[in-house]
Chains A and B, each alone.
Chain A
Amino acid sequence: MLSYIIKRIGQAIPTLLIVITVSFFLMRLAPGGPFDGERQLPPEIEANLMAAYHMDEPLWQQYVRYLDGIAHGDFGPSFKYKDFSVTDLIWQGFPVSLTLGAWAMLVALIIGLPLGIIAAIKRNSAVDYLVMGIALGGIAVPSFVIAPILALVFGVILAWLPAGGWHDGALPNLVMPVAALALAQIAAIARLMRASMIEVLGSQYIRTARAKGLTPTEVILRHALRPALLPVLSYLGPAIAAIVTGSVVIEQIFGLPGIGRYFVQGALNRDYTLVMGVVVFYAILIIVMNLIVDLLYSVLDPQIRYD
């Protein structure tokens, strides 16, 4: 197990290096400098700016400097938010994005898993069709369509919930963003759970368990649930990536001060260091999450041996 963890971390490092290197050189390839504003800067000032941001150094030196910075948790200065470093901005936005993402994941699991199980047990019944119909809707209707409609209905017309804003993560402000973000994942998890539960319920040992005289609930909880959860668990990695990506758009729509909003602003303003910093930060996050999911997998599935 330990050697597996070490091996996986050893695999994660080259991946990260690739992300950092590709982002770095792409950004430096970009036409136009970060200081091309509306107004033409005098050459002396521009030279000073370049020197202040170490952009007058040879490319490899800048690259090494950037790598060294990241190793120390420093993503460099933001080119547009003058008084902030990228690290500051990321840490400012992260608690918001984390709260949003964690709630969305939790809600998706709490609602998605039971829905999938019920649909599997009542296979081909009205309940099943209803659940799968809703799930298909959740997959087909993107979050950036659902979110504005939710905001319009519950925020503006009915005025039950605030249509936007963060308010330090107050519950009413969280409800709609979390719902909009979770819906697609509820749908995906319910579909996966249903399919895998149906497969497990068809296996021999479930028949044995039934023949022993266990109640249907006991059969599900004691025998079918754990193996049926495995495909869902391996979906958690992609689900986390999807929630991280989705939160970009949700933060935009509801005006939440998370990382995603800085990222979009940075991308629109060509704030190179900020965009690069967020990409690298998310890559680290997603790689770490995937590692955790893989380790969890080994806990749930005794058939897997990591050596």
Chain B
Amino acid sequence: MSTHTTPSAGTDVSAASDEFQAGDSLAVEAWRRLRQNKAAMTSLVLLIVLTIACVCGPWLLPWGLDEVDWNSFMTAPSSEGAHYFGTDANGRDLLARTLYGGRISLSVALVATIVSLVIGVLYGAVAGYFGGRIDNLMMRFVDIMFSLPFMFMVILLMVVFGRNILLIYAAIGAVEWLDMARIVRGQVLSLKRKEYVEAAKALGVKDSKIVTRHLIPNAIGPVIVYVTLTVPKVILLESFLSFLGLGVQEPLTSWGVLISEGQQMMESAPWMLIFPSVFLAVTLFCLNFLGDGLRDALDPKTR
């Protein structure tokens, strides 16, 4: 495990080499530190509960995603008819829709983050490992991408290729990898001068293997921290798109879609705005707390 968390610290190679034997114990220690952080642990528990509710909840509910209750249109939350979150203008149960929406929002978070992770880590590792002109060229490209208005590029993609959930995964992932690439590059730049990499090279290990076997695993700490910060960004981006009507489409729904519907109805049916908003806000809060907690747990300065 590496002790560097920022690319700028990447040039500092003074860290002792014995830290690399302590891979497991670092994870254990980080977990111990995380457990002491009440905010982070509460967030972790809440997130787990929320995820289970979104994944399993819809199976247990009497109402489906698109099922219309002809007896209750836009009714306030009540136990009558088992509409605990009320119903929308089409008589659909809001609790069921919120949980289904959560599935979509969380799945976007998961898939888009993985997409950005894979692209960012590979890109950064390659740039950092080869260095020199290749590094310069690759990082120039990242700089150029950085100065683009992301949201607009994603919207452009949605307009061109139609609104489709797979495209949302890919498009969001495709614009969120830049920071990751920078972080990994900084890590790799410092790691590649370590003795064990020299040793691997001397033994004739292939470049591709050195990158995947030695460099990426050792750069993982800052990557984990950054992943937890990427997840809320991705969820936010998806809800932003869906809110504008440019993301997830009927019959699917997501928190962004529900908030948008709720906003149009907020005077007569405020619950339609409140419940999805609370779910989104709680998720984002928890992810931020957890990210902060993980950063503290993995940060060498406070260790």
Chain A residues within 8 Å of B, Cβ to Cβ: 12, 14-15, 18-19, 22-23, 26-27, 29-31, 136-137, 139-142, 144-145, 148-149, 151-152, 156, 241, 244-245, 248-249, 252-253, 263-264, 267-268, 270, 272, 275-276, 278-279, 282-283, 286-287, 290
Contacts and interface: CB of A to CB of B under 8 A. Distances in A.
Contacts of A252: 244
Contacts, number: 115
Contact of A245 (B147, B149, B280): B149
Given A278-B152, A279-B149, A283-B149, A140 B239 contact: no
Interface in B239-264: 239-240, 243-246, 256, 259-260, 262-263
Contact of A148 (B151, B158, B273): B273
B10 interface: no
A140 B152 contact: no
Contacts of B240: 142, 144, 245, 249
Contact of A264 (B153, B245, B288): B245
Q: How large is the interface on B (under 10, 10 to 19, 20 to 34, 35 or more residues)?
A: 35 or more
A152 B270 contact: yes
A279 B156 contact: yes
B161 interface: yes
20 contacts: A15-B144, A27-B160, A29-B160, A30-B161, A136-B288, A136-B289, A139-B284, A141-B285, A145-B280, A145-B281, A148-B262, A152-B267, A241-B149, A264-B246, A267-B155, A278-B152, A282-B152, A283-B148, A286-B148, A287-B147
Contacts of B205: none
Contacts of A283: 147-149, 152
B266 interface: yes
A253 B156 contact: no
A283 B150 CA distance: 10
A73 B223 CA distance: 43
B159 interface: yes
Contacts of B281: 140-142, 145
Contacts of A151: 266
B23 interface: no
Summarize B's interface: helix, strand, loop or mixed.
helix
Contact of A142 (B147, B161, B284, B288): B284
Given A142-B281, A149-B277, 4 more contacts: A26-B160, A136-B288, A145-B281, A248-B244
Contacts of A249: 240, 243-244
B160 A30 contact: yes
A286 B161 contact: no
B144 A14 contact: yes
Contacts of B149: 241, 244-245, 279, 282-283, 286
A145 B150 CA distance: 21
Q: Which of A29, A144, A241, A290 has the most CB of B within 10 A?
A: A144
Contacts of B159: 27, 30, 267, 270, 272, 275
B273 A152 contact: yes
Interface in B87-144: 144
In the A-B complex, the 7 residue pairs with the smallest Cβ-Cβ separation, listed nearest first, are: A140-B284, A148-B263, A30-B160, A140-B285, A245-B151, A145-B277, A279-B152
A253 B263 contact: yes
Contact of A267 (B153, B158, B262, B289): B158
Contacts of A253: 263
Contacts of B266: 148, 151-152, 156
B244 A264 contact: yes
Nearest to A141: B281
Nearest to B273: A148
Given A268-B245, A279-B156, A286-B147, A136 B285 contact: yes
B290 to A, nearest CB: 12
A142 B263 contact: no
Given A148-B263, A156-B267, A139 B288 contact: yes
B162 interface: yes
B246 A268 contact: yes
Contacts of A267: 155, 158-159, 244, 246
Given A15-B147, A148-B262, A141 B152 contact: no
Nearest to A139: B288
Contacts of B277: 145, 149
Contacts of A12: 147
Contacts of A148: 259, 262-263, 266, 273
B236 interface: yes
B284 A144 contact: no
Nearest to A289: B147
A212 B76 CA distance: 66
B157 interface: yes
A275 B150 CA distance: 14
B232 interface: yes
Contact of A144 (B161, B162, B239, B289): B239
A28 to B, nearest CB: 9
Contacts of B273: 148-149, 152
